[in-house]
Chains A and B, each alone.
Chain A
C-alpha cells in the first residue's frame, strides 16, 4: 500500500491546493488565498504534523463546494453567478464519462443535470452545501438512467428493465469478492490487530463470547475475506475506514462486504440463526451486567 509522507509546510500546502484546484478547473477563489486560509486553520487546530495531501484535498473540495454552491444561488445577473455555472458545467462535462461513454449522450446528460440543479438551487439550495459534488453526480447518474430507459423503450417498443436482483446471487457475490482480492499484508495486519479491541470490565466473559463468535464465523462464512471483515466489525469494533486502511481497500468496499456478511448470516437456517442470536444475546446480558 502507498504510504504518504505526512507533515506539511505552508509552501507545500499552497502547492498542493493550487495543483488540485487547477486540475479540477476551480477558480472562483484564488488558490493561494484558499491555501492561506487552510494553513491558518490547520495551525489553529494543531494538526499540521498529521496532515497530508489527501486530507488537504478533502478540505479543499468541502470548502470549494460551499463557495460554488453559494455563487450558484446568487442573483442571475451577478458575474460570479455566470462564472459559477460555467465552471460547474465544465466540471460536470468532465465527469460525464463516468455515466456513459457515448459523446452525444454525455452532452445531453450534462444539460439535463444542469437544468435540474438550477431548479433545485434556485428554490432553496442544498441543506448541506458540502455535499454539492455528490449531489450533482447522483443527479447526473439518475438523468443518464432515465435517458437510457427512454431510449431503450423507444428502440424496443417497451421498457426493458435489467434485473438488479441478479446481482445478489451467490455467484455474483463470489465474483465481486474475487475483485476485492485480499492483500496478504492487509490480512496479516488485521489478524494481528487484537490490540485495538475494546477493553471491557468482564474480560473473561467477553473473551468467551468473542471466541464463540469467531468460531461461528469460521463455520458459517464461506470466504476468508468475509470472516476477516466480520471479525473486524463484530469482535474488534473497527469502523469501515479503519478496516479499509488495514486491507488497502476503500471504505465503501468494506461496507458492501459487511452487507454480504449480514446477508449470509440472515440466510442461515433458523437453527443456526438461533445459535448466533444466543451468542449475541449473552453478549448483551454481559454488557448490561457491567
Chain B
C-alpha cells in the first residue's frame, strides 16, 4: 500500500515538468545503473517506489529508461522464475 497523498503529490510535480522532455536526460545513466537494483528488489516484492523514489519518478516520464526497464524486468523474471 502506498501513501496516496504522496502519489498525488508526485503526479502534481510530474504535471509541472516540461511536456517535451529530451529522449535522453541527464538522469538516464544514473537511472539505468540503478535498474538492476530496482528490478531485483521489485521481483523480491520490495516497495521500490519508496526505496528508490527518484528512479520510480523518472520511469513514469522517460521512454528511454522505460524501454530498458521493461527489457530487464522481462529477462530477469524469465531467468529466475521460468525454471
The total of chain B residues at the interface (CB under 8 A) is 51
The total of chain A residues at the interface (CB under 8 A) is 57
Q: Which B35-83 residues have a C-beta within 8 angstroms of A?
A: 35-37, 39-40, 42-45, 47, 49, 56, 59-61, 63-64, 66-81, 83
Query: B59 to A259, Cβ gap below 8 A?
Result: yes
Our pick among B7, B12, B35, B75 for the contact of A98 (Cβ within 8 Å) is: B75
Query: B70 to A20, Cβ gap below 8 A?
Result: no
Given contacts A61-B80, A133-B79, A280-B12, contact A259 B37 (CB under 8 A): no
Q: How far is the CA of A274 from the CA of B59 in the complex (A)?
A: 23
Within 8 Å CB of B5, what residues of A? 283-284, 287
Query: B45 to A198, Cβ gap below 8 A?
Result: no
**Is residue A149 contacting chain B, with contact meaning CB distance below 8 A?**
no
Per-position binary interface string of chain A over residues 119-137, scored 1 when its CB falls under 8 Å from any chain B CB and 0 otherwise: 0000000001011011101
Specify the chain B residue showing the minimal Cβ separation from A274. B15
**Is residue A29 contacting chain B, with contact meaning CB distance below 8 A?**
no
* Least Cβ–Cβ distance between B53 and chain A, in angstroms: 13
> Which residue numbers of B lie inside 8 Å of A, CB to CB?
1-5, 7-9, 11-12, 14-17, 19, 23, 32, 35-37, 39-40, 42-45, 47, 49, 56, 59-61, 63-64, 66-81, 83
